[in-house]
A = this chain, B = another copy of it.
Amino acid sequence: MNAQYKSCIEAVYRCIEACNVCYHACLKEEHMSNMSKCIELDRECAEICTLALHSMQRSSTFAIQILSLCAEICDACGTECKSHNHQHCQDCAQACFRCAEECRKLIS
């Protein structure tokens, strides 16, 4: 596996985890109706991050294009999560923004 991917893979993995945890927690929130956008983006973000993770681990020739899309979806998910006070949302926002940053380091 390409050594240059190491810190991005770590950030992508943490983002998958944070998105899945936030997704599940949102579905248990008392005022779940406010969380629909967050639930939706948590899933989208976990999915593109999973594709990004596999593409780096397999040294895909499309890794850069996938990371570019991944950064965009991470930004959207991070922005939505940041607007909610729940700890799982704040944690997820942080993981998303860090992931987007690591993806962009590799793209440039």
A interface residues, Cβ below 8 angstroms from B: 1, 13, 16-17, 20-21, 23-24, 27-28, 31-33, 36, 39-40, 43-44, 46-48, 50-51, 53-55, 57-62, 65-66, 69, 72-73, 76
Task: Tell whether, in the assembled complex, residue A65 and residue B58 are in contact, meaning their CB atoms are under 8 Å apart.
Answer: no
Q: Majority SS of interface residues in chain A?
A: helix
In the complex, 28 of the A-B residue pairs with CB atoms within 8 angstroms, ordered by the A residue number, are A1-B21, A1-B24, A13-B13, A16-B54, A20-B54, A20-B58, A21-B57, A23-B58, A24-B40, A24-B57, A24-B59, A27-B39, A27-B40, A28-B36, A31-B33, A32-B36, A39-B39, A44-B55, A46-B54, A47-B51, A48-B62, A50-B54, A61-B76, A62-B72, A62-B73, A62-B76, A65-B69, A66-B69
Taken together, the copies of this chain in the complex come to 4
A63 to chain B, nearest CB (A): 10
A54 to chain B, nearest CB (A): 6
Also in contact, A51 and B48, with CB within 8 A (given A36-B27, A69-B65): yes
